[in-house]
Structure 1
Amino acid sequence: MKTYPGSEIRNVAVVGHARSGKTTLIAALLHAAKMTAARGRVADGSAVTAYDEEDVARGTTMQNAVAFAEWQGVKINLVDTPGFHMFSHEAKAAMLPVEAALVLVNAQCGVEAVTERVWKYAEEANLPRIVVLNQMDSPRAGGGQGLSALMEDLHERWGRTCVPVQLPITGPEGFHGVVDLITMQAFFYETNGNGSGRIGEVPGHMLAAARAAHEALVELVAEGKDELMEEFFAEGTIPEQHLITALHEAIREDRIFPVLFTSGEANVATDHLLDFLKVYAPAASERAAVAVSGIEVMETVAANGHAAGLGASGGEAEHGNGEVSGYGSGMGNDKNDADIVLRPVADSEPVALFVFKTMSDPFTGRISFFKVVSGVVKTDSCVENYARKGQEKLSHLSVMQGRKAVEVTELHAGDLGAVAKLRDTFTGDTLGQKGAEIRVELPERPEPSMTYAIEPKTRADEDKLAGALHKIMEEDQLVRFFRDAETHEFLVAGSGQQHIEAIVSRLKRRYHTEVTLKAPKVPYRETIRGKAEAQGRHKKQSGGHGQYGDCKIRLEPLPRGTGFEFGNEIFGGSIPRQYVPAVEKGIVETALRGFLAGYPVVDFKATVYDGSYHEVDSNELSFKVAGRLAFKKAMEQAKPCLLEPIMKVEVEAPEEFAGALMGDLNGRRGRVQGMQARGKATVIAAEVPMAEMLSYGTTLTSITQGRGSFHMELKHYDVVPQLVAEKILATAKKPVEAEEE
C-alpha cells in the first residue's frame, strides 16, 4: 500500500446521535472510493466498522473503529464512533487523534441530545466541524418541512456560522443530488448506486435559491478578512479559487461550519463528500507544533498562542490553491510559556506516537491503535515506552480497515496506524525515540455511573474472570472491576446498564466466561444521635495469671462525614498509659462490625475517662475486650440509626420530558435542587438516595426514549427514614460477634 505524507492525510472523527447513520455512511464512502467491492450494511454485519460481535448483535456501535479511504491522491482516515449516550466517552476520545469532526445529524429528527454533546466535545477541543445532514432520502427529512426547518434547527443550536455549501436536489424520485454552492454545479446520483455522481447544470427551479445561497456563503466567508471584503465589495463576489482557499481557512479556524447533505443508505452524494474532505478538511500536517513541558506532558500551541492538547502545524502547509496556517485542538492542560518547548509535526523530527485505542483480537491478540505525532515510523523499528520505560518492537506496521489489518512499511507524521502484540503498552501511552521523551495527555474520561455485583457461575468461570475482565478494561477504559472491602463482593462498573450487560455478553461470547449480575449491596453506615456512657469490665480467671480490664467510655455524635475520633481523659493513673490504645482498638474493631445491621459505625467520638486495672492480671488484650464491651453497652443508649449514601445526580434530557423526570425523581425520595436549559435540553440537578438509583438507567431510557443521560457521584450520607430503615433492618443480619480471645 502507498504511504502518504501528512499534507495528503485527512483524519476525521464521524460523530453524532445513535441512528444518525454514521456506520452506514462510512460504508457508503468506502464503497464510493472503491475500497470495498460491495457496500457493507449494518443489518447483516457486513459494514466495515461494525465488526465487533456485540455491535453486530445489538445493532449499535459501542466502541470506536477505524477505516480509511484512498481518494484522488489523498488518504482519509475515518474514526467511527458510538452515538448512544452511554458510550459517548468513546466519541470524546476519538477527538484527540483527528483534525476534524464530521457531525452527522439525522435529517428526520434534527439535532439530538448526543449530537449536542459531541459538538460540545469538539468545541472544547477547538476541533473544526463539518455538519452532514444524513438520511435526506427520508420523506420525513426536516420533520416533513424540508430544508428551512433543518437549517433553522442548526442556527438555533449552533449559530448562523452553520452555512450550507450545498443544496439538496429532491423531486418525485426523492433525494437524488446536490448543488455545489462553491462551483455552482449540480451532481446527480442513482439511488442505491455506487456513489459516483454525474455533473450537470443546476435545475432551473433551484437556480434563484442557489444564487442566493452562494451569495450568503461568499459574504460569510469574507467576514473578518479585510482583503476578502474589499474584493467582495469591488467585484460583488469572490473568485472561485480565492473562495476555495478562504473557505478552507475559515473551516480550519472554526469561523464557519459548512453544512452538506447525504444519504448513506441510498449512497447519494458520498463521492462529493469525499471531494469536500479532500479539499476543505484540515490536513494532518496543519497541526501546530507540539508543546512539550519538560519530558512529561505534551500539549499543543493553538494559533492564538495558548497551550492545548495536540495542535496544528506551526508552519505553513499548502492546501487547495493557497497558503494556510496552523490551528489548535485544545485537549491539554495550560502551562507556563517558559516551560514549553515546541516540536513540529514533521517527518524530520524524532519519532513519537501515542496509543489512542486498544483492541483485543481473539486471533491476533492485543492491537494498539496509534497516531504518529512526529517522525517516520518504520516497521520492525524499536521505540521506548516513555510511561513504562520499556522497549517495544513495532513488528508488522498496519493501517486498519475495520478489523482487517493492511500492512505498510512506514507511516509519516500525522497518520493513524496499528501494531499488534506490544508487550507492555496500553491506551494513553506515548512511545518514541529514546532521549526525546514527550507525553500525550488523553482527555479526562467520566467516572462510571452504575455498578453491579458480578458472580461467576462455576469455579472454571471464576478462574477465568479476572483475566478476561482485564482484557476488556484494556479496550474500554471506563470499565472498572474491583472488590468491595465492606461488602466483600466483586463489582463491575460502567456507564449504564446496557454498557454492563454488553460487558457480560462479551465475557461469554469472547472469553467463554459466564457470570451472574446482581444489584450491588448499598454501603449503608450506622451512627448515633445521642450521648451515652457505659462501663466495660472483662475479668477472667482460669488458673495462673488471669485477665482483667475495666474502662468507662463516653460516646457522642460528630458532624456528618467526620468519621471517628478518640479522646483520653484518664487522670491519676486509673488505667496505665500503655493500655489506653488497646481500649481504642477494641472500640474501632467493634464499630467496623456494626451494631444494628452489621454496617460500620461512623461519625462519633469515643472518650475513655475512667477505669481500673490489676497489677498482675491486666494486659492489652484484657483492655481491648473491655473496650468492646463498653462500646456495645453505650451503643444501646446512644440512639443508633442507619445512614444511607445520597448521590448528587445530574439528568440531561429534552425539555419535553422534564416533568416526567422530576416526578420520577421525587418518587425515588429525591430532592430536586434546580433546573437549567442547555440548548433544547433540560438539565435537572437532584440529590437521591443510592438505593433508589440502582435501576435508574433503565427507567431513564424508557421515559426519554433513549434520549436522556445522567451522571451521579457520592454527595454525602444522611439518616434513613424510619419506615425505610425498618425494612432494611428486618432483612439484615445482626453482626456476628467475634469470639473474645
Structure 2
Amino acid sequence: MGGASDRRDGQSGAAGGASAADRPDKVRNVVLVGHNGAGKTTLVEALAQATGAVNRAGRVEDGASVSDHDEIEQRQQRSVQLSLVPVEWEGIKVNVLDTPGYADFVGELRAGLRAADAALFVVSAAQDGEGIGGATRLVWDECAAVGMPRAVVVTHLESALAGFEETAAQCAAELGGDDPDAVLPLYLPVHGPAGPDGHAPVTGLAGLLSQQVFDYSSGERVGAEPGPDLLPRLQEARNRLIEGIIAESEDETLMDRYLGGEEIDVKTLITDLERAVARGTFHPVLAAAPAADGARQGLGTVELLELVTRGFPTPLERTPPPVTAPDGSPQPPLECDPEGPLAAEVVKTSSDPYVGRISLVRVFSGTLRPDDTVHVSGHGMEDRGHEDHDVDERVGALSSPFGKQQRPVPSAVAGDLVCVAKLTRAETGDTLSSKDRPLLMEPWQMPDPLLPVAIEAHSKADEDKLSHGLSRLVAEDPTMRLEQNPDTRQVVLWCLGETHADVALERLRTRYGVQVDAVPHRVSLRETFGAAATARGRHVKQSGGHGQFAICDIEVEPLPVGSGVEFVDKVIGGAVPRQFIQSVEKGVRAQAARGVALGYPVVDIRVTLSDGKAHSVDSSDAAFQTAGALALREAAAACRIHLLEPVSEVGVMVPDAYVGPVMSDLSSRRGRVLGTEPAGPGRSLVRAEVPEIEIGRYAVDLRSLSHGTGRFSRHYARHEPMPAGLATKLRQQAEEGEHTR
C-alpha cells in the first residue's frame, strides 16, 4: 500500500470468484459508491480480472460475464440493483458490493452500506462528467457520521479531458471538509508518449511513499525507478502526503521528529496510514482504469486491492448493529464471533425464475449453514406493506454469486456475505437468528417513497395475479410502499422516482407476468356543505304484498373543520319509531361515505332528524336507511357543496444555496412557508404547508431544482377548503366524464 512494494503479480484469485472464508479476519466487505456513469461496474470487472476470477476476455469458466445483469439493466444500460462480486487477493476474500448510481435506487445503496465495512467512492476524472456530485457528497457525510472508512478511486483516466490531480484536489476540497489534508493521493499517474491527437495516455502509477513507478503498459504490473523529470513532481505531493499521515498518527512524537528534519521510515508511515484508514480518519485517493484488450491487469487494480486488504478494517473491527428480542426486550451487544449466537440480516431479496427467492445475507454473528432452521423476524415496516412477522424457516442451499451463477459454499462465518435460497417468508431487512434465541436487528435508514403511481390491472387475467405480484415486488424492495386507498379506490405504488417506478412496473411484467397500466393519481378529497339545508327523504313503494314506506325530514348544517359527521335525533311524538332512528342514521352515514357531489366522503356536518312518517306494516330498517340516504342527497342538491383538499406538512432539507428557489417553488404550489432553520453545516430545513394535489411530483421536481441534493418529508396535516376556481374545474371535468372516481 502506498507503493511500498513492487511484488504484486495479481495471480492470487481463484477462477470464478472467491471461496468461502473460514475466519472473519479473512474477509473485507467493500461497497462502491458514485454517480451513474462514474465507472463502478467497470471497476468491479477490472478487479475480478486482476485477481484471476475471470479470464482476459472478462469471462468466467463457462463463458458468462461477471457483469451479466438482468434484462432491465441491459435494456436501460444502467445498474438498478445491488450486486455482489466476491474476489480473492492474497488469501483475503473481498466482497465487492456494486451499487446503482442513480438517485432513484438509493435504497439499494443504503443496503450496500449496511452490508459493508468500508466504502470506495468512485469519481470520474473526465471534465465533462458529473464529477463528485451533490448526492455523492451527501453519502460521504452519512458515512462520516457513523465513522465508516472511506477512500476515493478516480476513474476515466483514459479520457482526453481527464485530470487526475485536478480531480484529487476537488475531492480534498469538497470531501475533506475542515481537513482537506485527510483526502490525499497515494499515487500519481505516469503518462506515456503523446499520440497524434496530443493526448498522452496514462501508462503507470508512481508511489508517493516508495517513490517507485509501476508500469502497466505491458498488461502486467512492472516496477521501475522514476525518471529525473518525475522526481520534483513526486516530492511535492509526497511531502504533503507524509504530513497528512503524521497528522492522523497516534504517535504524538512523530510530527515533532518530522519537523525536526528526521526522515520517517516508510514502514512506519505505511503502518500509520493503514491504521488511519481503518479508523476512518484518513481517506486515500487512488486511480484506476480497465485493462487493455488482452491484458490481465488494469491500471491501479493491484494498488486498490492492496488498500482494501491492508487498510480497510476486517469485520472484527466493526461493531454489529444493536439487537433486541422480537418483543423489544434488550439483548447483549453482538460480537463478530463465528461461535457466537447466530445473527444475520437480509440486505437484498431477488427472484430467480428457476431457483425462486434468493436472499443476500450479511452474517454479523455466528455461522450460517445449509439446512439450519432459523428464526425470521421482520418488524417495524407495516406502513410500507410489510406486516410484522416471526416464523421459523429452514435454510436452503448457500451460495456465492458470480455474474448469473450461484456457486455452492459449505457455510458462512460471521463477517461474510452469502446468498440463501428458498427463504419463502424472509424479506429485505429481516433478521435471521437461532430459533432458540430469536433476535431482531435495528433496521437501517431507508428513504421514504414519495412519488405516487396509481396502477390498474391491464386485463382480468392480470387482475387475478396482481395481488401476488405486488406482494412479492414489495418484499424485494422496502423503499417501495403499497397503498390500497379506500377513498379513491386506487392501488398506489409509492416510489422514489420515475425510473424507480418504471423498473417496478417492468419487473411486474417480466418477472411476475402481470401487465398493469399507470393511471392518474387522485388525492383523497372531501365534500362538505357550504350552508344549512333542509330536505325530505321519501321512500314509498307498493307493488302488492308488503311494500316499502319511510319518510324522514332532516336539517343539515356545516361544522368546523375536523368535526366529522354528527347525527342528532330531535323527533317528537314518535313520528319515526325508535327502532328506525338508527336506520336513518345508518343511511345518512353510508351516503356521507359515498359522497353527494363528486363521490368523495362528506365531513364536518351535523344532520338532525326532525320529523318523519312510518307505516305499521310497510316500514322497515332497509326502507329508513334508504330514506336517510335520499334525504342527504336532496339536502345537497339544495345548497352549495364545497370541496376540501388534504394539506401536508412538508419539510425540505437543502443546501443553503437552494433555500430561496425552494421557498419560491413552494409558494408557487399554493404552499405557506412557515420558516427555516439550520440543519447542519451549510444546510437548512424549510418548513411549509402545501396542498397534496400540488406535490404529487415533488420528489422529481425537487431533485431537479436542487441538483440531487434536496430531500423532503411530508405528513398529512388536515383538509382545507379548495379554491373555488380549482373546485369548479373538477366539477366541470366530472360533468364531462373526464373525472372519474
* Superposition TM-score, scaled by structure 1 size: 0.82
Please give the secondary structure, in 2, of the residue aligned with 1:644.
Answer: strand
Please give the secondary structure, in 1, of the residue aligned with 2:332.
Answer: strand
1:111-130 alignment runs, 5 A limit: 111-130=132-151
1:476 maps to which residue? 477
Distance 2:374 2:43 in 1: 36
The answer to whether the 8 Å contact 1:135/1:265 transfers is no
RMSD value, Cα: 3.8
2:302 maps to which residue? 271
Distance 1:294 1:711 in 2: 30
Q: Which moved more, 1:282-291 or 1:682-691?
A: 682-691
Give aligned pairs, total: 688
The answer to whether the 8 Å contact 1:168/1:175 transfers is no
Distance 1:199 1:552 in 2: 101
2:8 maps to which residue? none
1:125-136 alignment runs, 5 A limit: 125-136=146-157
1:281 maps to which residue? 312
Distance 2:281 2:432 in 1: 35
1:4 maps to which residue? 22
CA distance 1:730–1:474, shift in 2 (3 Å): same
Matched, 1:259 2:285: yes
Equivalent of residue 160 in structure 1, options 180, 187, 194: 180
* AA matched with 2:74: V
Distance 1:345 1:480 in 2: 33
1:16 maps to which residue? 34
For each residue in 1:359-385, what CA deviation from the matched residue of structure 2 results, as whole angstroms up to 9, or x when unmatched? 111222211111122223333444343
Equivalent of residue 385 in structure 1, options 369, 376, 387: 376
The percentage of counterpart residues that share the same residue type is 33
2:4 maps to which residue? none
* AA matched with 2:216: E
The answer to whether the 8 Å contact 1:162/1:259 transfers is no
Matched, 1:48 2:48: no
1:294-313 alignment runs, 5 A limit: 294=325
Please give the secondary structure, in 2, of the residue aligned with 1:628.
Answer: helix
For each residue in 1:250-296, what CA deviation from the matched residue of structure 2 results, as whole angstroms up to 9, or x when unmatched? 33333333333333587321210110011110101223366543465
Equivalent of residue 198 in structure 1, options 218, 223, 227: 223
CA distance 1:200–1:368, shift in 2 (3 Å): farther
The answer to whether the 8 Å contact 2:451/2:698 transfers is no
Superposition deviation, residue 139 in structure 1: 4.5
Q: Which moved more, 1:350-359 or 1:23-32?
A: 350-359
For each residue in 1:342-399, what CA deviation from the matched residue of structure 2 results, as whole angstroms up to 9, or x when unmatched? 3321122233322211111122221111112222333344434356554444343211
Matched, 1:213 2:240: yes
For structure 1, the 5+ residue unaligned runs are: 298-334, 736-741
CA distance 1:20–1:612, shift in 2 (3 Å): same
The answer to whether the 8 Å contact 1:290/1:344 transfers is no
The answer to whether the 8 Å contact 2:534/2:553 transfers is yes
2:644 maps to which residue? 643
2:414 maps to which residue? 413
1:169 maps to which residue? 189
CA distance 1:643–1:292, shift in 2 (3 Å): closer
Matched, 1:148 2:169: yes
CA distance 1:658–1:290, shift in 2 (3 Å): closer
* AA matched with 1:70: E
The answer to whether the 8 Å contact 1:39/1:47 transfers is no
1:83 maps to which residue? 101
The answer to whether the 8 Å contact 1:195/1:270 transfers is no
1:305 maps to which residue? none
Equivalent of residue 120 in structure 2, options 86, 102, 105: 102
The answer to whether the 8 Å contact 1:88/1:118 transfers is no
Superposition deviation, residue 498 in structure 1: 1.4
CA distance 1:85–1:649, shift in 2 (3 Å): farther
The answer to whether the 8 Å contact 1:7/1:286 transfers is no
The answer to whether the 8 Å contact 2:154/2:164 transfers is no
* AA matched with 2:124: N
Superposition deviation, residue 96 in structure 1: 1.6
2:734 maps to which residue? 732
The answer to whether the 8 Å contact 1:32/1:270 transfers is yes
CA distance 1:693–1:350, shift in 2 (3 Å): closer
Superposition deviation, residue 245 in structure 1: 3.8
CA distance 1:31–1:159, shift in 2 (3 Å): same
CA distance 1:49–1:653, shift in 2 (3 Å): farther
For structure 2, the 5+ residue unaligned runs are: 1-18, 195-199, 293-297, 379-388
Please give the secondary structure, in 1, of the residue aligned with 2:114.
Answer: coil
1:301 maps to which residue? none
Distance 2:473 2:117 in 1: 28
Please give the secondary structure, in 2, of the residue aligned with 1:717.
Answer: strand
1:222-621 alignment runs, 5 A limit: 222=249, 226=252, 236=262, 239-264=265-290, 267-288=298-319, 291-294=322-325, 339-386=330-377, 390-539=391-540, 547-569=548-570, 575-609=576-610, 618-621=619-622
The answer to whether the 8 Å contact 1:195/1:271 transfers is no
Superposition deviation, residue 623 in structure 1: 3.3
CA distance 1:211–1:495, shift in 2 (3 Å): closer
Superposition deviation, residue 115 in structure 1: 0.3
CA distance 1:431–1:708, shift in 2 (3 Å): closer
* AA matched with 2:304: L
* Superposition TM-score, scaled by structure 2 size: 0.82
Superposition deviation, residue 555 in structure 1: 2.9
